[in-house]
């Protein structure tokens, strides 16, 4: 699954000043797993981050930390390694080994059922890792195909110890059963308690599913499936898939027995059983049980020989498996009290210490056995020495296994030194590939990959990064944000969008796009034709024009600005003959460009400009009229009723004697002033 910073704020974030989150891998019930870069060690890691809504729940937080502690105690090639654990602000996280590949669930969805050989190989790898956990006293408690990782390089690893508990801890869960219902053992369903045999039950269900392509129990409700686990016997896989061999039928039946006492006690016992079956099936190994040689008593001189009855029985082979101890005696005297020896053989001839024929045969047989014993001892010593030499050669010696070191991000020379230090042989010829994380010229990976166990002396090819692949950019500026995001999301790392107000671009239109060049400088992506794969892209998006609040009241202007994320800045007042008092005359933004949170300064109207009425008395009517009209006032002059006014221009001749309102009064533009004069 791919996502971007517009939908997942974790992407692009630096955690604990060390882990740069790159992309999302998977999301589960307790946490989300991301691909990240450990900038300190220059390696890719998987980082599991607890969901924010669970961080305040102490029980969930403790369970999350328990996963890290449980997994960190384990180290095995078939277990996902845990590197680090911590918390930052309200974020709890676990840093794990990154395994590129698919899960067993993905493989089953693609192929439905696996061949018996494939299923056995996967089961053996899971059992090997699980045996290490069981030996350390850890029960996984959540075994299912989703937690079995199949790496691109062929490695098989078991991960997600999110429900793991120490076997000595109280594993009861009360009313809530943890784990996936399809793989829960009967004792987990009925009692809520689990031990290593509960993991074996889950593995038996997984083996059934691998062989048949389906789970043994089905139901519309989880409790229906749980009831079947607790009360029914798991059918043999061959009933659903006739090609399954009887040995695997028996293995499923053994692992899924309803009574835990009837199952393997742990993963090691089941793994040893599988290995033994394979050896017998292939004929590669045969074990012979040798009956031990029975001890033979040494007959000292003068000791008694067996009776004729005993001699007869030995000669006939009826009691050849045991040699009786012969008591010392003289002549035919009976054995000492309390001992069960038969009467001793009589001497023949006159030579001292001579034995009867039967006694001589017994002595000769004893001598042969002693000789054969020395030969066997010599062989055992030689084999022990050879075993020691082979053990040394396969361990610290030249034939031993070593783990390929992590060299990602190193120079080629440094990588060669690290590989040689491990007893590996870096090939003279390197390979190359595009790498969106590792800088050009540095080591991207190795073939075989890091952490894989190989023989000392194994050739290892170094793969050098060609840097990120260059990708042609689509049209960006002037396009809708949704269109640009969909076009860039799969190939680039979209950072948090930046928003600003623009009078020239409609709302939610991209007005700029910036990236980072190889020199770390900002690049205008609108001016280049291509850009590095997985490179960071920051889009600048239009918020539309700043709202025009001219002519509105202060309250209305404040509400309009607040709706788009702007705030009211300074407020000035000014007289206006055109804008009513209390309304906005004009607005301006100091920030350029304006963004959310920018302040908008307002100029508010104080109403019309006041005018102090001047003294125009003594001026002619025309002069007074001109003076007052220049101030924006209207002038009214009563008609002249004197008959003489008809014969001359009386307005230019007669002086003003008074005004209404009187001089010094406050008037406003448009007010009417009435002039008085003597007729």
Q: What is the pLDDT of residues 239-272, one digit of tens each?
A: 999 999 999 999 999 999 999 999 999 999 999 9
Q: Cβ of 572: how many Cβ atoms within 10 Å?
A: 11
Residue 192 and residue 268 in one domain: yes
The pLDDT of residue 200 is 97
The answer to whether residue 32 is domain-embedded is: yes
Predicted pLDDT at 168:
42
Q: Is residue 127 domain-shared with residue 247, that is, in the same domain?
A: yes
Q: What is the pLDDT of residue 223?
A: 83
Residue 72: C-alpha distances to residues 30, 69, 75 (Å): 19, 5, 7
365-398 pLDDT, tens per residue? Answer: 556 656 776 787 777 777 777 777 666 665 665 6
Q: What pLDDT score was predicted for residue 367?
A: 65
pLDDT at position 351: 45
Cα Rg for the chain, rounded, in angstroms?
Answer: 49
What pLDDT is stored for residue 502 in this prediction? 95
523 occurs within a structural domain: yes
- CA 540, distance to chain mean position in Å, is 31
> Among residues 465, 481, 515, which one ends one of the domains?
465
At residue 390, the pLDDT reads 65
Residue 296 resides in a domain: no
How many domains does one find in the chain? Answer: 6
- Asked whether residue 39 falls in the same domain as residue 177, the answer is no
Per-residue pLDDT, 562: 95
Q: What is the CATH number of the domain that holds 36?
A: 3.30.200.20
587 and 618 share a domain? no
Could you say which of 8, 90, 142, 639 is catalytic?
A: 142
Q: Which residue range is the domain that position 196 belongs to?
A: 101-282
Q: Which residues pair with 165 in a beta bridge?
A: 139
pTM: 0.43
| Per-residue CA distances from 474 to 306, 414, 513, 531 (Å) | 106, 39, 11, 10
Q: What pLDDT was estimated at residue 374?
A: 78
Find all residues with CB under 8 Å of 301, minimum gap 6, and list them. 352, 353
User: Two tokens at 331?
Assistant: 């002549």
Closest CA to 133 of 227, 212, 218, 196: 196
Of 68, 97, 126, at which residue does a domain stop? 97
Q: 89 and 115: one domain?
A: no
Q: Please give the Cα distance from 44 to 152 (Å, whole number).
A: 15
Distances (CA, A) of 298 to 295, 335, 354, 364: 10, 17, 15, 11
Which among 605, 627, 645 is the end of a domain?
605
Do residues 482 and 454 share a domain? no
CA 7 to chain centre: 18
Give the chain's end-to-end CA distance (angstroms, integer).
99
154, 270: one domain: yes
Both 178 and 56 in one domain: the answer is no
Token couple for 348: 């023949």
Residues (pLDDT < 70) of the chain are: 1-7, 29, 55-56, 67, 162-179, 277-370, 373, 389-399
Give the helix ranges, DSSP H, for 8-102.
58-72
Distance CA 425, CA 611 (A): 100
Indicate whether 507 belongs to any domain. yes
**What pLDDT sits at residue 391?**
64
Co-location of 108 and 142 in the same domain: yes
* 195 and 265 belong to one structural domain: yes
CATH number at residue 646: 3.30.10.20
Tokens of 186: 């009967």
Burial bucket for residue 233 (CB in 10 Å: 0-12, 13-18, 19+): exposed
Establish whether 142 is a catalytic residue: yes
Q: Could you report the per-residue pLDDT of 574-618, keeping only the tens digit for each?
A: 999 899 999 999 999 999 999 999 999 999 999 999 999 999 999
Residue 652 lies in a domain: yes
Whether the CB-CB separation of 159 and 150 falls below 8 Å is answered with: no
301 found inside a domain: no
Residues 564 and 449 reside in one and the same domain: no
Residues 594 and 626 in one domain: no
How many residues does this entry show for the chain?
A: 679
Residue matched to tokens 């740069």: 20
């Amino acid at each position: 699954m791919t996502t971007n910073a517009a939908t997942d704020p974790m992407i692009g974030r630096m955690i604990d000043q060390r882990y740069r989150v790159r992309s999302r891998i998977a999301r589960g019930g307790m946490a989300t797993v991301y691909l990240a870069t450990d900038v300190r060690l220059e390696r890719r890691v998987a980082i599991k981050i607890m969901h924010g809504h669970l961080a305040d729940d102490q029980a969930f937080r403790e369970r999350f930390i328990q996963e890290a502690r449980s997994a960190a105690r384990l180290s095995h090639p078939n277990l996902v390694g845990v590197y680090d654990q911590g918390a930052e602000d309200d974020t709890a996280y676990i840093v794990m080994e990154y395994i590129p590949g698919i899960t067993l669930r993905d493989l089953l969805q693609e192929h439905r059922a696996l061949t018996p050989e494939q299923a056995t190989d996967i089961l053996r790898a899971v059992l090997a890792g699980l045996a290490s956990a069981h030996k350390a006293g850890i029960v996984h408690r959540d075994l299912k195909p989703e937690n079995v990782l199949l790496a691109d390089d062929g490695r098989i690893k078991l991960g997600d110890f999110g429900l793991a508990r120490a076997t000595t801890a109280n594993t009861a869960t009360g009313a809530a059963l943890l784990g996936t219902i399809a793989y829960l053992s009967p004792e987990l369903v009925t009692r809520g308690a689990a031990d290593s045999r509960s993991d074996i039950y889950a593995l038996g269900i997984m083996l059934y599913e691998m062989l048949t392509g389906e789970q043994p129990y089905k139901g519309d409700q989880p409790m229906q499936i749980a009831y079947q686990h607790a009360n029914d016997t798991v059918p043999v896989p061959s009933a659903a898939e006739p090609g399954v061999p009887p040995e695997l039928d028996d293995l499923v039946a053994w692992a899924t027995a309803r009574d835990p006492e009837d199952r393997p006690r742990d993963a090691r016992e089941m793994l040893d059983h599988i290995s033994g079956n394979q050896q017998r099936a292939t004929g590669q190994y045969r074990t012979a049980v040798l009956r031990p040689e029975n001890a033979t008593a040494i007959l000292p001189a003068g000791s008694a020989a067996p009776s004729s009855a005993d001699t007869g029985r030995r000669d006939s082979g009826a009691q050849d498996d045991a040699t009786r101890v012969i008591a010392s005696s003289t002549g035919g005297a009976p054995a000492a009290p309390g001992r069960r020896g038969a009467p001793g053989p009589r001497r023949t001839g006159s030579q001292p210490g001579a034995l009867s024929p039967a006694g001589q045969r017994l002595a000769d047989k004893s001598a042969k056995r002693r000789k054969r014993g020395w030969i066997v001892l010599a062989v055992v010593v030689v084999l022990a020495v050879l075993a020691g030499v082979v053990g040394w050669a396969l361990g610290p010696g030249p034939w031993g296994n070593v783990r390929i070191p992590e060299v990602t991000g190193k120079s080629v020379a440094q990588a060669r030194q690290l590989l040689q230090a491990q007893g590996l042989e870096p090939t003279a010829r390197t390979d190359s590939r595009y790498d969106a994380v590792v800088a050009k010229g540095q080591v991207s990976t190795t073939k075989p990959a890091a952490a894989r166990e190989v023989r000392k002396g194994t050739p290892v090819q170094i793969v050098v990064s060609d840097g990120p692949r260059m990708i042609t950019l689509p049209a960006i500026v002037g396009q809708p944000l949704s269109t640009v995001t969909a076009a860039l999301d799969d190939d680039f790392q979209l950072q948090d969008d930046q928003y600003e107000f623009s009078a020239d671009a409609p709302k939610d239109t991209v007005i700029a796009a910036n990236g980072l060049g190889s020199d770390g400088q900002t690049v205008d992506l609108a001016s280049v034709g291509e850009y590095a794969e997985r490179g960071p892209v920051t889009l600048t998006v239009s918020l539309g024009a700043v709202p025009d609040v001219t002519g509105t009241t202060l309250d209305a202007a404040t509400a309009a600005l607040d709706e788009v994320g702007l705030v009211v800045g300074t407020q000035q007042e000014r007289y206006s003959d055109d804008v009513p008092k209390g309304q906005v005359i004009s607005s301006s933004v100091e920030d350029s460009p304006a963004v959310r949170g920018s302040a908008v300064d307002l100029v508010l109207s104080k109403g019309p400009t006041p005018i102090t009425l001047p003294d125009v008395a003594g001026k002619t009517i025309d002069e007074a009229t001109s003076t007052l009209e220049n101030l924006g006032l209207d002038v009214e002059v009563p008609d002249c009723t004197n008959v003489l006014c008809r014969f001359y221009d009386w307005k230019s001749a007669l002086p003003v004697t008074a005004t209404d309102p009187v001089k010094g009064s406050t008037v406003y533009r448009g007010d009417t002033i009435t002039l008085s004069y003597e007729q």
